[in-house]
């Protein structure tokens, strides 16, 4: 018997890619000075490229293959995957509309220290909010039984969480939090990711027939996050071209790794 069940693999992968990677990413705040916004944006853009490639090659393509096997129809499989993809995106849109959050560093609500501090916490909420579907994607990918898919999405999201963890810690340090407090809060933003992993892996444990639709749902949620949260954050501070280059760099790296691991 394998040492871990598919459910446990999904949960463990979400812990590593979510809480583990976020904590590791935040660790430099304990001994490093402030990071330039441009440097942080380039790191996030590279991670976004990896995340984008993982969404397509580790979530959508396996979803289409599994759906076609189940439905015995290419057109029917494509339509089913599209519906699940759009439902995933719509779910994240509604979650963003309900939960208070804000992109850190954007103009607006400037002025008093209390207002700036509130904006930092809205940014923290935004990071924590989109960690849930990331965990969902990792849990589904790792529990799917497809080694290439599981490794691809775990690696992609884990790498994306490294600069995110540092971004939260740096933002809190900029508002006067101690190094230890900034590190701990940043690490905790990754705590929702294992919860998403439990939901995703649990859904597959209940019924393996949910796999293609779960993969597509997670892909839709991820695409929404990449477009709504990550890319806009990187296209500021005068590094738009560099951010685009970094995104392509991350995408081709993930493409190569997906082929090599496959």
Give residue 104's pLDDT: 47
Return the domain boundaries, the chain: 6-261
Q: What tokens appear for 100 in the block?
A: 């208070």
Give residue 81's pLDDT: 92
CB distance 17 to 134 below 8 Å: yes
Q: What is the pTM of this model?
A: 0.69
Q: Which of 173, 158, 197, 171 is nearest to 11 (CA)?
A: 197
Per-residue pLDDT reduced to its tens digit, 3-47 = 768 888 888 999 998 889 989 988 988 887 666 667 777 777 887
Give residue 130's pLDDT: 67
User: 142-160 as b/e, with b when 16 or more CB fall inside 10 Å?
Assistant: bbbebebbbbbbbbbbbbb
pLDDT averaged over 10-residue windows placed end to end, the chain, 262 residues: 74 90 88 70 78 82 85 89 92 74 45 50 64 81 76 79 79 77 86 85 78 83 80 74 87 80 60
Give residue 224's pLDDT: 86
Give residue 125's pLDDT: 67
- The alpha carbons of the chain give a radius of gyration, in whole angstroms, of 18
């Amino acid at each position: 018997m394998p040492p871990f069940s598919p459910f446990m693999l999904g949960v463990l992968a979400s812990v590593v890619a979510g809480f583990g990677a976020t904590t590791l990413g935040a660790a430099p705040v304990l001994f490093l000075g402030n990071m330039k916004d441009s440097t942080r944006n380039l790191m996030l853009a590279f991670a976004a490229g990896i995340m984008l490639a993982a969404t397509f090659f580790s979530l959508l393509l396996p979803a289409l293959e599994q759906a076609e096997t189940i439905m015995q129809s290419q057109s029917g499989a494509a339509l089913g995957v599209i519906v699940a993809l759009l439902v995933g995106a719509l779910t994240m849109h509604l979650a963003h509309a309900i939960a208070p959050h804000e992109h850190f560093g954007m103009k607006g609500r400037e002025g008093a220290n209390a207002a700036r501090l509130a904006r930092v916490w809205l940014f923290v909420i935004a990071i924590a909010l989109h960690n849930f579907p990331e965990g969902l994607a990792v849990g589904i990918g790792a529990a799917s039984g497809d080694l290439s898919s599981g490794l691809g999405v775990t690696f992609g999201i884990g790498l994306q969480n490294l600069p995110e963890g540092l971004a939260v810690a740096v933002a809190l340090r900029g508002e006067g939090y101690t190094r230890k407090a900034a590190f701990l809060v940043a690490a905790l933003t990754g705590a929702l990711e294992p919860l998403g992993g439990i939901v995703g892996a649990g859904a597959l444990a209940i019924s393996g027939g949910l796999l293609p639709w779960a993969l597509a749902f997670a892909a839709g949620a991820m695409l929404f996050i990449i477009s709504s949260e990550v890319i806009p954050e990187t296209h500021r501070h005068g590094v738009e071209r560099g951010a685009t280059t970094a995104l392509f760099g991350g995408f081709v790296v993930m493409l190569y790794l997906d082929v090599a691991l496959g």
